[in-house]
Amino acid sequence: MATLTRRRKPTPEDQQQNPDPTHDSEDDKQEKIKSLKKGKKKIKKNYSCIDNCCWFIGCVCSVWWLLLFLYNAMPASFPQFVTEAISGPWPDPPGVKCLKQGLKAKHPVVFVPGIVTGGLELWEGHQCMDGLFRKRLWGGTFGEVYKRPSCWVQHMSLDNKTGMDPPGIRVRPVSGLVAADYFAPGYFVWAVLIANLARVGYEEKNMYMASYDWRLAFQNTEVRDQTLSRIKSNIELMVATNGGNKAVIIPHSMGVIYFLHFMKWVEAPAPMGGGGGPDWCAKHIKAVMNIGGPFLGVPKAVAGLFSAEAKDIASVRALAPGVLDSDIFQIQTLQHVMRMSRTWDSTMSMIPKGGDTIWGGVDWSPEEGYSPSKRKHGNDTQKESTGEVREATQANYGRMVSFGKDIAEAPSSEIERIEFRGAVKGNNVANHTCRDVWTEYHDMGFGGIKAVAEYKVYTAGDIVDLFEFVAPKMMERGSAHFSYGIADNLDDPKYAHYKYWSNPLETKLPNAPDMEIYSMYGVGIPTERAYIYKFTTAAECYIPFQIDTSADDKNEDGCLNDGVYTVEGDETVPALSAGYMCAKGWRGKTRFNPSGIKTYIREYDHNPPSNFLEGRGTQSGAHVDIMGNFQLIEDVIKVAAGATGEELGGDQVYTEIFKWSEKIDLKL
């Protein structure tokens, strides 16, 4: 029979001889706590800045997609219901309004997108891009930017010597209307205009998106992709299949000067040109309706090429010093942006043209005396601005780049400038780690960098020489494709070369007296015109020049903010650049317009949306948002349906563009 024994309670002596492993002493507990704390500290050390950045971008993307989902999940009438409750009934969309007026599709329409708005897709790449055949690298969701940033930069860059494809990489423009209808999900470019044209009967058989690789020099789009030949063939086909009705061309932004190049190319004899003959444009084009056209360049291109900045980048740099220059996602952000953008030859097409004659000198500018307007937006009765000038610090807009606010404001007689042309650049200051972010500044010594700063003031006439000094390899490619001067004699045979075709001051318009040219652009938004710079001696692996964001105008009505002088424009293109050629350079019969093509200026006063449910607004004058401006779209539809510029009402002007144009002493 089994017997039960009672377990004896262990005595203190037993515990000392046979310690229970499940019970630790106080000393052991303290040691474990210390070891756990050390482990936690080690874990914190392994949690790097890159992890924080990844989490941050992930959160931003998640919030963006959530908001986009909620917006799309709302009933279609909800935004309109709320907006009408706040600001009154919505007007009919332009397409509906024109349809009610009996307008119908007549002339075929060709869209010419600008820089960066057209999609680019991968056709051949390196191993790091496996699985992305015909996926968008530019446009769409931009997913590859944060998934594989270094690989993306490598594939978006062109060859630094040829300006064409690097070995083993082929990135090509997306074709069709989808190439530029939306830049990113929810961010329209051409989509609103296309939808309204469809209301009056347009479809893909009479609408064509002339997409091209906007990174390439204009002539190289023909050399590599035969893009200009395709545009010519498509226009001819559309005219032939639409009852002989001539085409209405609608270029936007850089697409404006790209199409200017096309009009000279199509007339020129082969092999340099398209062989269409001197009357091709007269036979095939009814009107060219240029939207936000940088005919004479943009100062913003100067800042972008000089320091990879513009006003917005400079402001971010001021809020978070050093962040954009540091190693984020294993790349030095601004250095890689500069390296990549300097391989895009098209950016050099927007360097200001015409020098001091157009943009002003050290002591004058066409817009001198301008101050931010206080006029009321959306006044339909105001066709021409009274241009009220308020007392404010006088801005020397002709000084496109100044080193220091004191230099920007000083009388010219007090500025001592040391010539930089021909200065000794000195020895290479870059070490081998900088070679991955080569920007040409790393080929300059401190002496060259100092020489740039000691010249102190750069006008438009100095800018090309400045770039030839700091970026000679970039300008060697650029000078083969673009020119920035003013022609003395347009009959000189040298102007038959394609490098002059995108400069309206060095070429003639086609012999097409029945054609019309419109310059349509937004106004009422401060637009970059001149910059105050500073330089740092720490040039190794850094861009040595920066916009001085500490420079501000004390007067609230002043034009200087965060180191940038602003004028009237659409936030990207100053009104002077967009409007001068149609206001004066091409107005009537001039040496630039020998056949007397009629020109019209249509300015659209910026009126921001009253609430966020209106999206980007229907009366915006901003450079891209104007593509959704109802009045502009209505003007386009009317011309496409057969109206003339006179039937639109002629010029519509809110700025002093005619007054500014008269100040420019240019032989016409």
Q: Show Cβ contacts of residue 2 under 8 Å, excluding neighbours closer than 6 positions.
A: none
Nearest to 576 by CA among 527, 619, 531: 527
Spatial separation of the C-alpha atoms in residues 193 and 94, rounded to whole Å: 9
Q: Which two tokens stand for residue 400?
A: 């496109």
β-strand pairing of 331-332 with 187-188: unpaired
Residue 214: both structure tokens together: 């906007």
Q: Where are the beta strands (DSSP E) in 542-610?
A: 545-547, 560-561, 564-569, 598-605
* CA–CA distance, 609 with 542 (Å, rounded to integer): 40
Residue 623 designated active-site: yes
**Angstrom distances, CA of residue 220 to CA of 478, 512, 560:** 12, 27, 39
Active-site residue (options: 213, 462, 562, 570): 570
**Structure letter (DSSP) for residue 262:** H
Helices (H), 361-501: 405-409, 446-454, 460-470, 472-478
For 329-366, b where at least 16 C-beta lie within 10 A, e where not — what string?
A: bebbbbbbbbbbbbbbbbbbbbbbbbbbbbbbbbeebb
- Measured CA to CA, the distance from residue 219 to residue 378 in angstroms comes to 41
| Both structure tokens of 219 | 């002539």
Task: Answer whether the bond into residue 544 is a cis peptide, omega within 30°.
Answer: no
| C-alpha to C-alpha distance for 383 and 189, rounded to whole angstroms | 27
Place of tokens 């996926």: 135
Strands 247-251 and 285-291: parallel
Q: Locate 175 and state its tokens.
A: 């074709």
Strand partners, 650: none
The crossing angle, in degrees rounded to 10, of helices 191-199 and 630-640 is 50
Q: Where are the beta strands (DSSP E) in 429-572?
A: 457-458, 516-523, 525-535, 545-547, 560-561, 564-569
How far is 209 from 249, CA to CA, in rounded Å? 10
Choose, from 211, 253, 385, 402, the residue flagged as catalytic. Answer: 253
311 phi/psi in degrees, rounded to 5: -60, -40
Bridging pattern class, strands 564-569 and 525-535: antiparallel
Alpha carbon separation from 373 to 300, 556, 610 (Å, rounded): 21, 12, 20
Torsion of CA 459, 462, 463, 467, to 10 degrees: -150
Distance of CA 643 to the CA centre of its chain: 31
Write the single-letter amino acid at 483.
Answer: S
Q: Catalytic: 661?
A: no
Count of CB atoms situated within 10 Å of the CB of 427 = 10
371, 373, 623, 661: which one is catalytic?
623
Residue 196, helix vs strand vs coil: helix
Q: Give me the residue label for tokens 């200017």.
A: 260
Strands of 366-436, DSSP E: 401-403
* Coil, helix or strand at residue 366: coil
Q: Quote the CA–CA distance of 486 and 469 in Å, as a whole number.
A: 22
CA 628, 110, 258, 244 torsion-angle sign: negative
From the centroid of its chain, how far is CA 452?
26
Contact (CB, 8 A) for 68 and 347: no
Active site residue 315: no
Supply the residues annotated as catalytic: 253, 570, 623
